[in-house]
Copies of this chain bind each other. A is one copy, B any other.
Amino acid sequence: MSDEELISIWMRPERQERSGPGRRPGYSRQQVTRAAVRIADAEGVDAATMRRIAGELGTGAMSLYRYVPRRDDLFDLMIDMAMSEVDLPEKPSGDWRSDLSLVAHRTRAAGQRHPWLIGLLSGRPTLGPQLLRVHEFALDALDGLGLDIDAITSFVGMVDDYVHSAVRREIGWLEEARRTGLDPERWKRDYIGPYVRQIVASGAYPLFSRSVLESRTAHLAAGERFRHGLDRVLNGIGAQIASDISR
- Interface size band for A: 35 or more
Chain A residues in the interface with B (C-beta under 8 A):
6-8, 10-11, 72, 119, 122-125, 127, 132, 135-136, 139-140, 143, 148-155, 157-158, 160-162, 164-165, 168-169, 172-173, 176, 180, 182, 190-192, 194-196, 198-199, 204-208, 210-211, 214-217, 228-229, 232-233, 235-237, 239-240, 243
Copies of this protein in the assembly total 2
Residues of the B chain whose Cβ atoms lie less than 8 Å from the Cβ of A143: 207
For the complex formed, measure the closest distance between the CB of A154 and the CB atoms of chain B, giving whole angstroms.
Answer: 5
Return the chain B residue nearest A182 by Cβ: B6
**Contact between B152 and A11 (Cβ–Cβ < 8 Å)?**
no
Write out the residue numbers on chain B whose beta carbons fall within 8 Å of the beta carbon of A123. Answer: 119, 123
Q: Which residue of B lies closest to A234 (CB)?
A: B236
Contact across chains for A11 and B151 when beta carbons are under 8 A apart? no
Contacts of A239 in B (CB 8 A): 235-236, 239-240, 243
Query: Would you call B195 and A132 a contact (CB within 8 A)?
Result: no
Contact assessment for A162 and B158 in the assembled complex, using a CB-CB cutoff below 8 Å: yes
Q: For A124, A143, A173, which residue has the most chain B Cβ atoms within 10 angstroms? A: A124
